[in-house]
């Protein structure tokens, strides 16, 4: 009995730690934690704990991604949030361009979403074979978000992927293999774009659709 | 009449069998052009109503009924045909039931038997047709419309399937059981067929169809989400292209910050053990006793991107430095080569006055023989000398071994 409560406590402790480290918890990054957070009683426990230090449990992506937010916003908290918002806005265009590049280079119908795997070597050879993709990669890798100064495809793409792992958008389960898995933070990104689209009334989807139809004509 | 039909059917099936290759070619390719090689066969198949020409100057195609037979038997997923025409099936069934009742009333047993058989056939076929339609729908759902490539095509396929489900459900709604019960009256056979049997089938199928409908909607939702995301990304790129100095509004500047952007910064203080807490003393001591000093060289293990293949080709490359016992065994082998005679290992051991225990010596000789590279071993023969264990079957005790040149 004691052993069981201990493991539960340790499990929740680890989960709270992960949240306080600013991690996004999804099925891909932390399946046990994600499963635990899916249960209302665990969520309540964690919420109680987090509330004591002015934190709260936040969700995105239809409840598939969890992260830690502030319970009440003071001057300092607002500053942090503003900084983070600026960061994510600056990252949007490079990330979107990268997502489109991966989708087009792999010839896929669907853009990358949580749980999808990318084989870097395959992607790299496809990019190397197509000048347009090469150009696009060079442009993406030179954004400040990635900050590459190299002119080699190999160095550019490796740096981009390394940065994406650091930023939490990708996961590299095996250090010896060049296989990356998209995390739930990407789904968060889609939600951010959709939020901006809806609140500012950009009607991005409509524009994309009319553009495709014009191409078809 | 019956005999004639039987013969004609057998003839038709035989024809299909005889020209199976060509029929399958047409099935897969969709149509076939007449040429000198196949003119005779094509002509025969046309006469048998297996192939037909939809329009003048068009290539020949397989008759719909033959196609349907193949699609169903092969579970071909390209088949999207669903017969949603419940109304006409029901009309046929009602008509046949009336025929049967009339014949029964006129006490014409032969005719009534025939009508009943016909009626059963139609009812069963109707049920089977419904079940088949549902199977087709499921197979399309299960591979997520994998037979078409793009998301847009998948969405269209999904919409087609949904309209088929709706049509099927509408058709099933038209079946009036009180009307069927009236027709059946108190005739047992008719009640069994028209009321019990049909009702079971219909309630099963309606239930399953509503599950199918739910799954189709779910899939459509997923397809739409994927499509929406693609468009969102493309739209973003288009928009930022057209408005190079665009910057999102400051959505976090408002009084009410959207939950999406309320993300706390990393806050984690390093934890350490409280050595002054006497309550923890026991656990801490236990932990300390378990600590082992492990000295590892701080050398990062090199990681290889690719497997480097290596083979152990030449035996000399990976020979381990020999110990004296092994060297002595080698000398024993050389002695055998020199003398060219059969030589007992134990005798050699005594002659040379070797210091090793006889058992280890024998082991090493056997090992030495087994350990020789294949091409060297072929030159020797080794025979163990010994006896079976008196008590335990199958155990052979080696007392000595003899070695000679093969």
Domain boundary among A36, A70, A104: A70
For chain A, what is the domain count? 2
**Does the structure show a pLDDT above 50 at B346?**
yes
* Cα first-last separation, chain B: 85
- Are B231 and B348 members of one domain? no
Closest CA to A193 of B203, B298, B320, B238: B238
A9 within some domain: yes
Instruction: Give the structural domain span for B3.
Output: 1-76
Q: What share of chain A is helix, strand, coil (3-state, %, to 5)?
A: 65, 10, 25
- Are B71 and B138 members of one domain? no
Provide DSSP, A147-214: ------HHHHHHHHHHHHHHHTSEE-S-TTS-EEEE-HHHHHHHHHHHHHHHHHT--HHHHHHHHHHH
**Does the structure show a pLDDT above 80 at B365?**
yes
Cα A213 from chain centroid (whole Å):
30
- Are A199 and A133 members of one domain? yes
B129 vs B123: CA distance, rounded Å: 10
- Are B69 and B90 members of one domain? no
- Are B137 and B155 members of one domain? yes
- Are B34 and B140 members of one domain? no
- Are A139 and A204 members of one domain? yes
pLDDT digits (tens, 9 = 90+) for B80-132: 667 777 888 888 888 999 999 899 888 888 999 999 999 999 889 888 888 88
Task: Check residue A6 and give its pLDDT.
Answer: 47
Using the beta-carbon criterion (under 8 Å), do A208 and B232 form an inter-chain contact? yes
Using the beta-carbon criterion (under 8 Å), do B260 and A191 form an inter-chain contact? yes
- Are A103 and A14 members of one domain? no
Lowest mean pLDDT, pick from A31-35, A54-58, A135-139, B37-41: B37-41
CA-based nearest distance A204→chain B, Å: 4
Domain boundary among B76, B101, B136: B76
- Are B84 and B221 members of one domain? yes
- Are B62 and B90 members of one domain? no
B265 contacts in chain A (CB < 8 Å)? 22, 80, 84
- Are B237 and B337 members of one domain? no
B149 contacts in chain A (CB < 8 Å)? 109
B187 within some domain: yes
- Are A106 and A65 members of one domain? no
- Are A167 and A206 members of one domain? yes
- Are A209 and A103 members of one domain? yes
Which neighbouring-strand residues pair with B32?
B60
Task: Check residue A5 and give its pLDDT.
Answer: 46
Instruction: Give the structural domain span for A55.
Output: 2-70
User: Does B301 contact chain A (CB < 8 Å)?
Assistant: no
For chain B, what is the domain count? 3
Provide DSSP, B106-154: TT-HHHHHHHHHHHHHHHHHHHHHHHHHHHHHHHHHHTTTTTS-SHHHH
A92 vs B7: CA distance, rounded Å: 74
Domain boundary among B13, B41, B76: B76
Task: Check residue B322 and give its pLDDT.
Answer: 63
Instruction: At A180, give phi and psi (nearest 5°).
Output: -120, 150
Residue with the bigger pLDDT between B206 and A214: it is B206
- Are A102 and A202 members of one domain? yes
- Are B84 and B199 members of one domain? yes
Residue entry with tokens 């082991």: B363
Most B CBs within 10 Å, among A202, A211, A214, to test the B interface: A202
- B123, B89 Cβ separation under 8 angstroms: no
- Are A62 and A100 members of one domain? no
B262 within some domain: no
- Are B53 and B125 members of one domain? no
Instruction: Say which of B236, B260, B263 has its CB closest to residue A195.
Output: B260
Q: Which of residues 147-166 of B touch A (CB under 8 A)?
A: 149-151
Of chain B, the percentage scoring pLDDT greater than 90 comes to 6
| pTM for the full predicted model | 0.60
**Does the structure show a pLDDT above 70 at A67?**
yes
Handedness of CA B2, B6, B11, B17 (dihedral sign): positive
- Are A64 and A159 members of one domain? no
Using the beta-carbon criterion (under 8 Å), do A58 and B263 form an inter-chain contact? yes
- A191, B260 Cβ separation under 8 angstroms: yes
- A102, B233 Cβ separation under 8 angstroms: no
B58 vs B31: CA distance, rounded Å: 9
- Are B383 and B368 members of one domain? yes
Q: Dihedral angle at the C-alpha atoms of A27, A31, A37, A40, nearest 10 degrees?
A: 90
Domain boundary among B243, B270, B300: B243
- B232, B170 Cβ separation under 8 angstroms: no
């Amino acid at each position: 009995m004691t052993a069981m409560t201990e493991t539960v406590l340790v499990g929740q402790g680890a989960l709270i730690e992960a949240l306080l480290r600013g991690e996004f918890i999804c099925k891909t990054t932390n399946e046990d934690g994600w499963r635990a957070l899916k249960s209302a009683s665990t969520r309540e426990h964690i919420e109680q704990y987090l509330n004591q230090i002015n934190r709260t449990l936040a969700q995105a992506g239809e409840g598939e991604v969890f992260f830690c937010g502030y319970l009440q916003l003071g001057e300092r908290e607002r500053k942090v949030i503003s900084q983070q918002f600026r960061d994510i806005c600056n990252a949007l265009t490079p990330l979107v361009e990268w997502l489109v590049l991966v989708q087009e280079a792999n010839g896929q119908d669907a853009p990358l979403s949580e749980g999808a795997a990318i084989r870097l070597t395959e992607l790299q050879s496809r990019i190397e074979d197509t000048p347009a993709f090469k150009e696009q990669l060079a442009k993406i890798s030179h954004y400040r978000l990635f900050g590459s100064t190299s002119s080699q495809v190999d160095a550019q793409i490796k740096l981009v992927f390394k940065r994406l792992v650091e930023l939490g958008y990708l996961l590299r389960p095996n250090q010896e293999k060049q296989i990356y898995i998209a995390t739930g933070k990407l789904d968060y990104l889609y939600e951010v774009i959709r939020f901006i689209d809806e609140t500012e009334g950009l009607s991005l989807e409509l524009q994309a659709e009319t553009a495709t139809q014009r191409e078809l004509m | 009449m019956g005999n004639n039909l039987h013969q004609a059917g057998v003839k038709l099936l035989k024809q299909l069998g005889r020209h199976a290759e060509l029929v399958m070619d047409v099935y897969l390719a969709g149509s076939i052009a007449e040429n000198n090689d196949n003119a005779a066969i094509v002509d025969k198949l046309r006469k048998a109503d297996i192939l037909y020409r939809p329009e003048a100057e068009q290539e020949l195609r397989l008759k719909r009924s033959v196609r349907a037979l193949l699609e169903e038997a092969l579970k071909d997923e390209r088949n999207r045909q669903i017969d949603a025409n419940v109304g006409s099936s029901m009309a046929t069934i009602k008509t046949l039931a009336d025929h049967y009742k009339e014949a029964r009333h006129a006490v014409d047993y032969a005719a009534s038997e025939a009508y009943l058989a016909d009626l059963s056939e139609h009812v069963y076929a109707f049920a089977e047709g419904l079940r088949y339609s549902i199977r087709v729908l499921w197979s399309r759902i299960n591979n997520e419309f994998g037979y078409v490539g793009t998301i847009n095509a998948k969405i269209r396929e999904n919409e087609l399937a949904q309209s088929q489900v709706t049509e099927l459900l509408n058709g099933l709604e038209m079946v009036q059981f009180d009307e069927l019960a009236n027709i059946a009256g108190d005739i047992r056979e008719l009640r069994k067929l028209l009321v019990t049997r049909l009702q079971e089938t219909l309630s099963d199928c309606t239930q399953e169809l509503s599950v199918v409908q739910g799954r189709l909607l779910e899939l459509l939702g997923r397809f739409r989400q994927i499509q929406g995301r693609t468009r969102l990304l493309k739209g973003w790129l288009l928009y930022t292209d057209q408005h190079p100095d665009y910057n999102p509004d400051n959505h976090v500047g408002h009084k009410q910050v959207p939950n999406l952007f309320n993300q706390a910064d990393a806050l984690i203080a390093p934890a350490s053990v409280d050595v002054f807490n006497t309550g923890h003393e026991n656990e801490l001591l236990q932990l300390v006793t378990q600590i082992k000093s492990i000295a590892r060289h701080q050398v990062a293990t090199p990681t290889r991107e690719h497997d480097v293949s290596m083979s152990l080709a030449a035996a000399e490359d990976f020979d381990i430095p020999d110990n004296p016992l092994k060297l002595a065994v080698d000398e024993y082998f050389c002695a055998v080569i020199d003398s060219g005679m059969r030589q007992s290992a134990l005798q050699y051991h005594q002659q040379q006055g070797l210091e090793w225990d006889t058992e280890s010596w024998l082991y090493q000789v056997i090992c030495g023989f087994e350990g020789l590279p294949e091409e060297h071993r072929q030159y020797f023969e080794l025979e163990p000398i010994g006896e079976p264990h008196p008590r335990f079957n199958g155990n052979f005790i080696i007392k000595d071994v003899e070695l000679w040149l093969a």
